[in-house]
Structure 1
Amino acid sequence: MAVPKRKMSRSNTRARRAQWKTSAVNLQECSNKACRKPKPQHVACPSCGQYDGRQVVQPA
């Protein structure tokens, strides 16, 4: 197994970690015809509480 010969400096570590970027959440329309508000994929709609055409959460 490969082992580093020297400790990586703080500036090099931070420069490497600076490349880790997050991506924006993909939003899609709610499948409820009365709602149609944007919501994250694979998540119950926060405004109407439906997921995949059925009520799973009480709306807030």
Structure 2
Amino acid sequence: MGVPKRKTSKGRRDKRRAHLALSGPALAKCPQCNEMRLPHRVCPACGYYRDRAVLEFEEE
């Protein structure tokens, strides 16, 4: 059976996990207001998605 003969050192363990770090979210620039937003989603700043107003914001 596949049982380790020696304890895996911290360095070897960390080298193996070197590529497992999480990256930040991919962001795209909104063509209407130039704010950064998540791709394929409505812009939270202006409410536009693909050149159409999807969300209505109330003026205060």
TM-score of the pair, normalised by structure 1: 0.55
Question: Which residue number corresponds to residue 24 of structure 1?
Answer: 24
Number of equivalenced pairs: 53
RMSD: 3.0
* Larger RCO: 1 or 2 (CA < 8 Å, sep 6+): 1
Cα deviation code 1:34-55 (max 9, x no counterpart): x100000001000000000000
Larger radius of gyration: 2
Q: Which 4+ stretches in 1 moved above 6 angstroms?
A: none
Q: Aligned pair in 2 of structure 1 residues 56, 22: CA closer, same or farther (>3 Å)?
A: same
Gap regions ≥5 residues in structure 1: 1-19
